Amino acid sequence: MKVVLRNPRREVELPGPRRVKDVLRELQIVPGTVLIIRQDELLTTDAMLDDADTIELRPVMSGGGSGGVAPAGRRP
Amino acid sequence: MKCTRCGDRATVELRRHNAAFCVADFLAFFRRQVSTAIGKYRMFGREERVLVAVSGGKDSLALWDVLIEEGYETSGLYLDLGIFEYSVESQAKCQAFAAARGVPLIVSVVADAVGGPVPIIQKVTRRPPCSGCGLSKRYLMNRAALEHGFPVVATGHNLDDARSRASRPRCRPLTRSWFGA
Ligand SMILES: [Zn+2]
């Protein structure tokens, strides 16, 4: 399966089938810090993925927060 | 994983709440969380007009959306920071939202009010951009609220923002305004 990561954007290829939570563990990502996206859908950590799947792991963070936060990726 | 409410397939998992929701029940849960917090912390009442500071991002527009749905009288406030294409694009998002929901949007240009756009303020003050920028934004939010007669300013953030704010005391809220999401 293809796993797309952000900041910086990169792609990782992992063999399936395996659950989302095992993918996160393999990539040392703490559950709850990313949205797990497959096509137009969000997945929970127990979802099963197979070889043909492409998922994106998008960090949960703000773009142009109105209270004094710089655009994503430009934080100090 | 099943929705804690209806038992259908869950899309959103909220570990902090030990719950998981389908799309419809997540939206209901989110809206309830906001109105509970407004009541619990006595943020503002139904009779008070709310100026919602919007950046064009998901946090602030979600807050605006939920306040409209809850029946509050709101206006959006967009601060044009003068950060080139980024500002043009985010203003367009706020305008599209305001038009779609039939709510007013006030646009305030930072360069007009404080004498220069954010990239220039950064050079002049030699402060990190979020510091000089955050202070200008707070000032402008309060000024717009006073000018247009709003007793309440609402700003939307996620927990990630709240965490980074805690380590940057200069960016703390200066007046009565609240975490919305
Ligand atoms: Zn449900």
pLDDT tens, residue by residue, A37-71: 999 899 999 999 999 999 999 987 654 433 333 34
Domain of residue B26 covers 1-42
Same domain for B50 and B100 = yes
* A71 falls within a domain: no
CATH number where A21 lies: 3.10.20.30
Q: What are phi and psi of B25, to 5 degrees?
A: -75, -25
**B167, B124: one domain:** yes
Q: In the predicted model, what is the mean pLDDT of residues A3-21?
A: 93
B74 interfaces chain A, CB cutoff of 8 Å: no
List of chain B residues whose C-beta atoms are within 8 Å of the C-beta of residue A64: 55-57, 86, 90
- Identity at B30, one-letter amino acid code: F
Question: Tens digit of pLDDT for each residue in A25-39?
Answer: 999 999 888 999 999
Q: Is residue A66 part of a domain?
A: no
DSSP B15: G
- Examine the domain organization and report whether B148 and B82 are in the same domain: yes
Q: In chain A, which residues have their Cβ closer than 8 Å to the Cβ of B157?
A: 62, 65-67, 69
B7 CA from centroid of ligand 1 (Å): 6
Q: How far is the CA of B136 from the centre of ligand 1 (A)?
A: 42
Smallest CA–CA distance from B135 into chain A, residue: A68
3-state secondary structure B148-174: HCCCEEEECCCHHHHHHHHCCHHHCCC
Q: Which residues pair with A38 in a beta bridge?
A: A41
* Sequence letter at residue A76: P
Please check whether residue A72 lies inside any domain of the structure.
Answer: no
Q: Coil, strand or helix: which one is A67?
A: coil
In a domain, A68, yes or no: no
In a domain, A74, yes or no: no
Cβ-Cβ pairs closer than 8 A, A with B, add up to 98
Please say if the pLDDT value at position A18 is more than 90.
yes
Using N-to-C axis directions, what is the helix angle for B129-148 and B118-125, rounded to 10°?
A: 120
For chain A, how many structural domains are there in total?
A: 1
Tens digit of each residue's pLDDT, chain B (181 residues): 999 999 999 999 988 889 999 999 999 999 999 999 999 988 999 999 999 999 898 889 999 999 999 999 999 999 887 766 777 889 999 999 999 999 999 998 876 666 666 666 666 666 665 555 566 678 889 889 999 999 999 988 776 655 555 444 444 443 444 444 3
Candidates A32, A47, A64; nearest CB to B57:
A64
Cα-to-centroid distance, A42 and ligand 1 (Å)? 14
Beta-ladder partners of B178: B154
Domain range for residue A41?
Answer: 2-59
Name A2's Cβ contacts closer than 8 Å, sequence gap at least 6. A11, A12, A13, A53, A54, A55
Measured from the Cβ of residue B86, the count of other Cβ atoms closer than 10 Å reads 16
Cβ of residue B86 closer than 8 Å to a chain A Cβ: yes
- Distance, CA of B15 to CA of B9 (rounded, Å): 16
**Is some CB atom of chain A closer than 8 A to the CB atom of B62?**
no
Q: Whole-model pTM?
A: 0.74
- Amino acid identity of residue B173, one-letter, is P
Domain tally for chain B?
A: 2
C-alpha torsion B51→B53→B58→B64, nearest 10: 0
